[in-house]
């Protein structure tokens, strides 16, 4: 019974972690690359844009980055956040 409970907690922990949104205002390139369609180059472009222009106010601000068109943005929209102030 104890093993079953531990297994359940383990699965629940990873399921919750998998559902957590990535904050594009605080994430580094290594945290952005697992997102669907975001490779190393785009992840670095997101971080560079944020560094140069300040935090993103909305998720749609990612469209200002070269290569982050509508299709790419739609793929990750449900997986990202700009933090509590911009949600």
**Does 3.30.450.20 match the CATH number of domain 22-86?**
no
pTM greater than 0.85 (yes/no): no
Rounded CA-CA distance 84/75 in Å is 21
The tokens of 66 are what? 């070269």
pLDDT tens digits in sequence order for the chain, 87 residues long: 777 666 655 565 544 445 689 999 999 999 999 999 999 999 999 999 999 999 999 999 999 998 888 888 999 999 999 987 444
Every domain of the chain and the residues it spans: 22-86
At 67 the pLDDT is: 84
DSSP H or E run through 51: helix 40-53
């Amino acid at each position: 019974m104890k093993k079953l409970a531990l297994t359940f907690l383990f699965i629940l922990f990873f399921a919750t972690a998998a559902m957590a949104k990535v904050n594009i205002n605080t994430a580094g390139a290594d945290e952005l690359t697992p997102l669907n369609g975001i490779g190393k180059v785009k992840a670095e472009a997101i971080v560079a844009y944020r560094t140069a222009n300040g935090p993103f106010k909305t998720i749609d601000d990612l469209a200002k980055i070269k290569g982050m068109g509508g299709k790419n943005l739609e793929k990750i929209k449900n997986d990202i956040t700009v933090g509590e102030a911009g949600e």
